[in-house]
Structure 1
Amino acid sequence: MTATQQPCATCSISVERAQVSVQPLRIATRGSRQAMTQSTAIASAIERVTNRPVELIVIDTIGDRTQADGVPLHSIGGQGVFVKEVQRAVLDGTADIAVHSAKDLPSEVAAGLQLAAFTERRDPRDVLVGRALDDLDPGATVATGSVRRRAQLAAQRPDLRFDELRGNIETRLSKVPERGSIVMAIAALQILELTDHVAEVLSIDQFVPAVGQGCVAVECRADDEPTAEVLRRIDHPATRRAVEIERAYLAELGSGCSLPVAGHVDGATLRVFLADPDRGVSVSERVELSSSIDATDAWGPDLELAQRLAASVTDRLAAIGSDDVR
């Protein structure tokens, strides 16, 4: 793990105030433009509510180091490859706060940390860049590093071919196959103001997003109550409710689950997806939730519902034959 410190460029902190004020809060972040933009926004939000200086500490992760070589994410551990070193910086005291894309987090909170804030969710949907789905020729190539996206596209268009895709946002946008497409999260393009590249926004009904997609998660040490209190002031309760329910579904599947999985809460509806690419089968389901969208802590029954749903779709997936796609 390597780390470099940078003052938050958008935090208006004078030298004089920094000399007499409290120590700055230190945010550990990846160094990509998307990650830096997200972390700078968190830093600005913290300063608005606390008037406390903030600095960014850039962490080099294994996910970043392997991007240039195009190593498939699932071959180096999948979930967690972009967050473990960032979390370690908080645990060892190098930083006070870790900022992540929520979809990159494993379902279990790392020992010694707490999920202290979720930012308001952006558009969670996936998009095609290049050609729209109906405009792709038979046998066209779609590039994506996500096994979930491949399984969902294959369920709709079994004729498509898939290529691996890694790299930062700009690199991926430069790798659209000839007469083909790439798949991305629209939230990433929104953050970098690159939505003019979008050919089609994919329906949530057929292309259920990844758990946590579209929002930023903020962690601090489990025993750091002062920092947790600061982060609670920038937490978005409706997003927390949605993502906590999604994560309950993912957690019930187990940390060892390597199958393509998706889960998304949209208001009062939880949509889930689970696939087995080796057998060419998938299961989709939706259920209605009982908690209100603006509930602050009363979604316990919906967490249990998400857990039961995970068991149900796992059983359904195991039971169907290889000729069925549901």
Structure 2
Amino acid sequence: MAKTIRIGTRDSELALWQANTVQKYLEDLGYETKIVAVKSMGDIVLDKPLYELGITGIFTKTLDVAMLNGDVDIAVHSMKDVPTALPKGIVEGAVLERANVNDILVHKGLDFLQKDGVIATGSLRRKAQWLHKYNKHTVVDLRGNVNTRMQKLTDSDWNGAIFAAAGLERINLKPEHFIDLNWMIPAPAQGAMLAVAKEEDTYCREALSKLNHSTSEICVHIEREFLRELEGGCTAPIGALAVMKKETIDFTGALFSLDGSRKIEVIKQVDIGDKQDFGKKCAQEILNNGGRELMKEIKAEMK
């Protein structure tokens, strides 16, 4: 029986853009939809770094509860915010075609790169990689939605702030003064959107399956498998990127110390037909090369 699909989303401009995109795709296929916006704790508590809040999936948990309570039928997320283990009863419906995976630096001039500088980011991964390259710089915490973070940068005396390129591009907020940080390994699934549904909801699951982009799905699953095996959640400085070529998948992954002084990296290639457990094997190589001890240190430092 046909029904109106209620699309749950955070109420930020970027989240609403993502939800509206899914809405358009579904309505183009003939489905009736309605957007339901909610505010997550990650959007409300802005005076603490994310890792201090101690909640994995802080941006997705509110929508999970809304879905399990029957208030929404599907939810749309930035996939990099989604825990590698979904709540019981909720399943992936579609990974949409991936956008730009890179981080960018929005800046007020680049003179500071060769001397002291202050960079803002709320991400441990970005902080660690920036300090790995620029160990004389100071990195300060930056929270809020994309618009809020951009305004905080404008109002501050910081030299720059790091953003996901895809987020700024999606809402036409990418400024004139930026540089691509193509040396920075992105977050697992960065640039990808995920739509989830209740496991029992065959109507919504079938609808979402029509939006799935298989190449993007394969690559982000390898990255998230790597993340899950390292037990990083979204609080350790972990980067991962899988890129599908014609017959192969290229993978780069790394674990950093919190201060950026140490980096354990893996760069591997696999035939597409041999991709089973590829992310897990790459993570095990990191763990066996000092990563196990480093993860223990990171967890101890963050207690």
Q: TM (normalized to structure 2)?
A: 0.89
- Kindly report the root-mean-square deviation, in angstroms, between the aligned alpha carbons of the 2 structures: 2.1
Whole-Å separation in 2 of the counterparts to 1:320 and 1:282: 13
Question: Which residue of 75, 78, 95 maps to 1:118?
Answer: 95
- Superposed CA deviations along residues 35-87 of structure 1, whole A, max 9, x for unmatched, are 001101101101111x22111111121101112xx211001135400001111
Whole-Å separation in 2 of the counterparts to 1:101 and 1:45: 17
Greater CA deviation, 132-141 or 102-111? 132-141
Greater CA deviation, 124-133 or 249-258? 249-258
| Pairing of 1:203-214 with structure 2 (within 5 A) | 203=182, 206-214=183-191
**Partner amino acid, structure 2, of 1:178:** D
Q: How many residues align?
A: 288
Gaps of 5+ in 1: 1-20, 292-297, 322-326
In structure 2, the partner of 1:244 is 221
**Structure 2 residue 282 is matched with structure 1 residue 309:** yes
Whole-Å separation in 1 of the counterparts to 2:203 and 2:234: 35
In structure 2, the partner of 1:9 is none
| Pairing of 1:8-87 with structure 2 (within 5 A) | 22-49=2-29, 51-67=30-46, 70-77=47-54, 79-87=56-64
| Pairing of 1:58-207 with structure 2 (within 5 A) | 58-67=37-46, 70-77=47-54, 79-131=56-108, 135-176=112-153, 177-178=156-157, 180-203=159-182, 206-207=183-184
The SS at the match of 1:213 is: coil
Whole-Å separation in 1 of the counterparts to 2:9 and 2:290: 37
Larger Rg: 1 or 2? 1
Whole-Å separation in 1 of the counterparts to 2:270 and 2:119: 34
Moved over 6 A (4+): none
The SS at the match of 1:174 is: helix
Flag the 1:191–1:79 CA change in 2: closer, same or farther, 3 A: farther
Whole-Å separation in 1 of the counterparts to 2:270 and 2:121: 32
Gaps of 5+ in 2: 295-303
Higher relative contact order, structure no. (Cα contacts within 8 Å, ≥ 6 residues apart): 2
**Structure 2 residue 202 is matched with structure 1 residue 222:** no
Flag the 1:245–1:303 CA change in 2: closer, same or farther, 3 A: farther
Whole-Å separation in 1 of the counterparts to 2:235 and 2:173: 31
Whole-Å separation in 2 of the counterparts to 1:247 and 1:109: 12
Whole-Å separation in 1 of the counterparts to 2:64 and 2:171: 24
8 Å CA contact 2:81, 2:234 repeated in 1: no
**Partner amino acid, structure 2, of 1:272:** G
Whole-Å separation in 2 of the counterparts to 1:111 and 1:132: 48
Whole-Å separation in 1 of the counterparts to 2:234 and 2:186: 17
